[in-house]
Amino acid sequence: DQQVKQNSPSLSVQEGRISILNCDYTNSMFDYFLWYKKYPAEGPTFLISISSIKDKNEDGRFTVFLNKSAKHLSLHIVPSQPGDSAVYFCAASGRNSGGSNYKLTFGKGTLLTVNP
Amino acid sequence: ETGVTQTPRHLVMGMTNKKSLKCEQHLGHNAMYWYKQSAKKPLELMFVYNFKEQTENNSVPSRFSPECPNSSHLFLHLHTLQPEDSALYLCASSQDPTGTQYFGPGTRLLVL
């Protein structure tokens, strides 16, 4: 059973507009959430994160929103640029049972295409 | 060299071969990870090492054997793999197991 879900496999947006990527999770023990961006033939690159004690974190054009009651987070990119075209992965971590490690659980990713 | 590097970038092997994947991190991190990404599936954690000690084995078959000689290097030894093991194998590191993970470029593996 997938604990982190990205229900949209792809998203297409016009340059200059806002891109909104969504992610839902089921495990209430998750307390830290991350977004990674991946270009073809490269590894995922860390983009932005948010702790469960916050509901918003902003870094330049990227903002992540967390709605704990809905177990939902979203990544907003504004304005979108063609170079933002990539696969975006949502990831969540939380203390695993009986241990001290924080496992990262990933979603399947959303392919964002920003059209010029 | 900076960040996390992985070699080789591409590997084709037969089911009877033995090969090794190498990962090196230049970030001074203490935790290292192996992930597998198959087509249309999320990244799957395979192994976690913290200060050279294995702290997580996510029910990985024994045909995958990790080795962590020091905090900067991580290997994944492969033997008698199956075609379904074909995937992108990603290495990552973090300051500690709670920290943000930084990934290498991956090794694209094809098992024939």
Rounded Cα distance between B32 and B101, Å, is 9
- Residue B61: phi and psi, rounded to 5, are -60, 150
Mean pLDDT of B63-73: 95
The answer, for A45 touching chain B at a CB cutoff of 8 Å, is: yes
The distance of A11 to chain B (nearest Cα, Å) reads: 16
Write out chain B residues lying below 8 Å of A103, CB-based.
Answer: 45, 48, 56
Q: What is residue A49's predicted lDDT score, i.e. its pLDDT?
A: 94
Q: Which residue from B42, B98, B103 is facing A43, i.e. has the nearest CB? A: B103
Q: What is residue A109's predicted lDDT score, i.e. its pLDDT?
A: 95
Taking CB atoms and an 8 Å limit, are B48 and A89 in contact across chains?
no
Write out chain A residues lying below 8 Å of B54, CB-based.
Answer: none
Least-confidence region, from A34-43, A47-56, A92-101: A92-101
Rounded Cα distance between B49 and A110, Å, is 29
- Dump pLDDT digits (tens) for B3-50: 999 999 999 999 888 999 999 999 999 999 999 999 878 899 999 998
Q: What is residue B39's predicted lDDT score, i.e. its pLDDT?
A: 84
Burial per residue of B68-87, b for 16 or more beta-carbon CB atoms within 10 angstroms, e otherwise: beebbebbbebeebeeebbb
Q: What is the mean pLDDT of chain A?
A: 91
